[in-house]
Amino acid sequence: MSLYIDNPGGGGGPLLKRMLLECDSVSAMCELAGAISDDSTGAFGFSDAAGNVGVLEQLPGRQIWLDGGRDAIGHANMIVSPEPADRALDCYETRCPSAGARHHRVNAALAERRGAFDVSAGFAILSDQSDHPKSICRETTEVDGILTNSAIVAEPLAGRLHATYGPPTKAAPQTVSLD
């Protein structure tokens, strides 16, 4: 899950944002997201048991569901709403100039693995260094001052979280189970 906030108050209520993770359907998530502060900006990756996959973008005064259909969708810390006025709210080009390239690469990598996605495929995508130095995994701060220091792949239904402590190109994933 990826979340970014750009306002002095720290965005919508942290508890409400945490509760978004507990929703059991896209419609429940969208309804709860409507309770988050109107001035909050963020993005929440989500899927449900019905097979809906997508990203909920929280924009001032409204939410936009970016439908990934029954497949996958990637998001890289930028507003990707189809509305130019929404994208004008985003300051990624100055704060994180690699976001656009990373967004396109992560979605291309997901498409390349369509129908064959598992934990190892997730880490392969998160380790991707195509388009260096604007790659998904950044081992250098030369573009935007941001360095990849961890990668996470979750298996919510299995109750497992796999994480690297360091860039996924250099560190092996450790697994935590809710069992």
pLDDT per residue as tens digits for the range 52-85: 777 777 777 777 777 776 666 777 767 777 788 7
pLDDT mean across residues, the chain:
76
Same domain, 36 and 66: yes
Least confident piece of the model among 59-68, 107-116, 134-143: 59-68
Q: What domain count does the chain have?
A: 2
pLDDT band at 15 (very low <50, low <70, confident <90, very high): low
Q: Evaluate if residue 103 carries a pLDDT over 90.
A: no
Q: Evaluate if residue 21 carries a pLDDT over 90.
A: no
Q: Evaluate if residue 45 carries a pLDDT over 80.
A: no
Same domain, 18 and 104: no
Q: 79, 94, 109: which is the final residue of a domain? A: 94
Domain that holds residue 66: 1-94
**DSSP conformation letters of 50-112:** T--EEEEEEETTEEEEEE-TTS-----SS---S-HHHHTT--HHHH-TTHHHHHHHHHHHHHH
Q: Evaluate if residue 174 carries a pLDDT over 90.
A: yes
pTM of the model: 0.71
Q: 33, 59, 94: which is the final residue of a domain? A: 94
Which of 6-15, 58-67, 84-93, 131-140 ranks highest by mean pLDDT? 131-140
Give me the mean pLDDT over the 130-158 stretch. Answer: 82
Give me the mean pLDDT over the 144-153 stretch. Answer: 84
Q: 73, 94, 115: which is the final residue of a domain? A: 94
pLDDT at 2: 35
